[in-house]
Amino acid sequence: MIFETLDTYGHEQVVFCHNKDAGLKAIIAIHNTVLGPALGGTRMWPYKSEQEALNDVLRLSRGMTYKNAVAGLNIGGGKAVIIGNPATDKSEALFRAFGQFVESLGGRYITAEDVGIDVNDMEYVYRETEYVTGVHQVHGGSGDPSPFTAYGTLQGLMATLNKKFGNEDVGKYVYAVQGLGHVGMEYVKLLKERGAKIFVTDINQALVDKAVSEYGAEAVGLDEIYDVPADVYSPCALGGTINEQTLPRLKCKVICGAANNQLASNEIGDEVVKRGILYAPDYAVNAGGVMNVALELDGYNRERAMRMMRTIYHNLARIYEISDRDGIPTYKAADRLAEERIEKIGKLKLPLGRGHTRFQGRIRGN
Ligand code: NAD
């Protein structure tokens, strides 16, 4: 049953991690290491069953292969889940036991923060293994990726405007930004600096007030964001907001935002095309976060990080070329770009291990 599932999704290795004394139950899934070691965050979640945890880690690790490949990184896809409640089940022993399992893989899997995990938890993991990104800046970590993700989103937006309207003059267009959190607010700031008109919404009124007073945005209700006369809809909150109910209401010509899993289904993705809307694939647009942590492997440098964000423009342009070339929706073209890159680079047969031990930039604390 498990091997059948692994066959379907093409995973290389799945590791079940158990330490009774530390109360650790975790699964590490390595999906693909053709491009390099598998990088992806660790999620801590009170899964209702082991099967649910397994399904999640298999799905998420495969997603990381595609995201890292489209981002142009020399990195494969992996992910880990810890079964437990982040509010009550965390301990030093748990994270150190988990770190020992990561270490045992010798660099085939490199971990990072994800839902339910913060930088302090990663400090414990880091005591047992150096195959960790997203640690404190004092250890050579990269810190909060959100400003980079916002800047990367702007690059993706420019490529998308260029494709749709033949120019990338951000300030000429009207935006509907949903979600003013770490990424959304910074993105609004970047739009404002370029002179754009912006509609905003968030469940947090204080954030809405800030966007209005500091960036001259116009506040609209949570549900109204789908009806405003905007050229661009930018989902920066939750996934699944482009669905059967919302799509017919959207007046935009472009969808480009930082949220993960924006399309409720592939069918909706096909419907987006029929309505003449250009969809900027989410995982290509929001790759700023993973690019930022990937740079830690070489020794983090802010300047290089900003340069790397600009490559998101070219990644999007390439996706639109493939979409035209093969006559397929952009969400499928993004997957194809990833698959083509993995296939081509795989044929070069890089010696396994290249890129596995590039931690020399990290000053390891004791
Ligand atoms: P965040 O939690 O800081 O912000 C999310 C914001 O959305 C919050 O302000 C929240 O109040 C608001 N929100 C929630 N439900 C809403 C609703 N129904 N309508 C309007 N607003 C709502 O998260 P973030 O770090 O800014 O990330 C935003 C999105 O981008 C997420 O989907 C995340 O997975 C994705 N993402 C973030 C990064 C990053 O670097 N932070 C990287 C890649 C992808």
Chain-centre distance of CA 191, in angstroms? Answer: 21
Judge if the beta carbon of residue 145 lies within 6 A of ligand 1: yes
Which residues in the chain come in under a pLDDT of 70?
349-366
**Which one-letter DSSP state was computed for residue 224?**
G
Which residues have CB under 8 Å from 166's CB, separation 6+?
none
Report which ligand 1 atom has the smallest distance to the Cα of 261: 32
Q: Which of 64, 115, 183, 228 has most ligand 1 atoms within 8 Å of its beta carbon, as the pocket-test mutant?
A: 183
* Atom 43 of ligand 1, residue of closest alpha carbon: 286
8-17, long-range: CB < 8 A, 24+ apart: 9/58, 9/62, 10/62, 11/58, 11/61, 11/62, 13/108, 14/54, 14/57, 14/58, 15/101, 15/105, 17/97, 17/98, 17/101
Count of CB atoms within 10 A of residue 357's CB? Answer: 13
Distance of alpha carbon 133 from alpha carbon 297, whole angstroms: 8
Q: Tell me, what's the pLDDT at 360?
A: 45
Q: Tell me, what's the pLDDT at 354?
A: 53
Q: Tell me, what's the pLDDT at 349?
A: 64
* Atom 20 of ligand 1, residue of closest alpha carbon: 202
Integer CA distances (angstroms), 117 to 39, 43, 67, 198, in order = 16, 6, 21, 33
Beta bridge partners of 77: 32, 39
2-64+75-132 against 146-343: fold identical: yes
Q: Tell me the two tokens of residue 331.
A: 């969400």
Judge if the beta carbon of residue 183 lies within 6 A of ligand 1: yes
Residue with tokens 């993700």: 149
Helix residue ranges per DSSP H, 130-204? 146-165, 182-193
Sequence spans of domains, the chain: 2-64+75-132, 146-343
- Check whether 184 is labelled as a binding-site residue: yes
Judge if the beta carbon of residue 207 lies within 6 A of ligand 1: yes
Report which ligand 1 atom has the smallest distance to the Cα of 144: 40
Q: Which amino acid is at 19?
A: N
- Residue from 25, 67, 79, 164 carrying the catalytic annotation: 79
Count of CB atoms within 10 A of residue 66's CB? Answer: 22
Q: Which of 39, 70, 286, 312 has most ligand 1 atoms within 8 Å of its beta carbon, as the pocket-test mutant?
A: 286
Distance of alpha carbon 294 from alpha carbon 287, whole angstroms: 10
Helix residue ranges per DSSP H, the chain? 2-9, 50-70, 92-104, 119-128, 146-165, 182-193, 205-215, 266-274, 282-285, 288-294, 302-326, 330-347
Domain 146-343 has CATH 3.30.930.10: no
Distance of alpha carbon 248 from alpha carbon 240, whole angstroms: 15
Q: Tell me, what's the pLDDT at 357?
A: 46
- Check whether 182 is labelled as a binding-site residue: yes
Domain 2-64+75-132 fold is: Rossmann fold (3.40.50)
* Atom 1 of ligand 1, residue of closest alpha carbon: 181
Judge if the beta carbon of residue 181 lies within 6 A of ligand 1: yes
The question of whether 79 is a catalytic residue gets the answer yes
- 235 C-alpha to center of ligand 1: Å? 9
Beta bridge partners of 233: 176, 255
